[in-house]
Amino acid sequence: MKLRRITTLATAGTAIAGLSLLSGMNPAYAVDQPVTFEVEGGSLAIAQTPTAGTALVEGTAVDMPVTTVTDGRADFDRTGAWTVSASVTNLTESGGATILADQITLDETVGSFTAGTGTRVGAAAVVATGPLVSATGDSIDSVFTYTPTALLAAQTLPFSGSYAGTVTQTVV
């Protein structure tokens, strides 16, 4: 029985010694192959359902087209936050009459993430220009959809005619 134990220990010791000698040796031939993996940075985008325009009604909030913010940014240092700001131009009439932009109030009261997750941060109604809606902590490839509204204040004796202007929404 003692002889068997000694043989087993001697065999195990020889194997370990052999492995330690091999591990210290450099192979005679080696091939290195560089590998890469690329992830596109993505983008932050805003889009709106195409329409011919929105007809404003004095004293009544009117729905504008559905607006979508898509956050596809995948940068390492992304914050997952964005803000949509809106601005309105003066409404002008072909004869030269003007309704000032500060007579129009924009708002976003209903919006939600339709893909991904995040936290909606509502803003106060915007008179002529300012932040409309924000989000924080949104996931990569998140989609937030909302319907902005425009409210034209009641006008005192405006000149007759067809007035036109523009509402611009920008996401940063």
Q: How far apart are CA 21 and CA 160, in angstroms?
A: 99
Q: How confident is the model at residue 69 (pLDDT cuts 50, 70, 90)?
A: very high
Residue 60 in contact with residue 153, Cβ under 8 Å? no
Q: How far apart are CA 153 and CA 91, in angstroms?
A: 12
Q: How do residues 91-139 score in pLDDT, each as one tens digit?
A: 999 999 999 999 999 999 789 999 999 999 977 789 989 999 999 999 9
pLDDT of 4 over the 70 cut: no
Residue showing tokens 């009604």? 57
pLDDT score, position 28? 78
Return the minimum-mean-pLDDT range out of 38-47, 66-75, 77-86: 38-47
pLDDT score, position 26? 65
Residue 141 in contact with residue 118, Cβ under 8 Å? no
Q: How far apart are CA 118 and CA 141, in angstroms?
A: 11
Q: Provide the pairing of β-strand 104-115 with 167-171.
A: unpaired
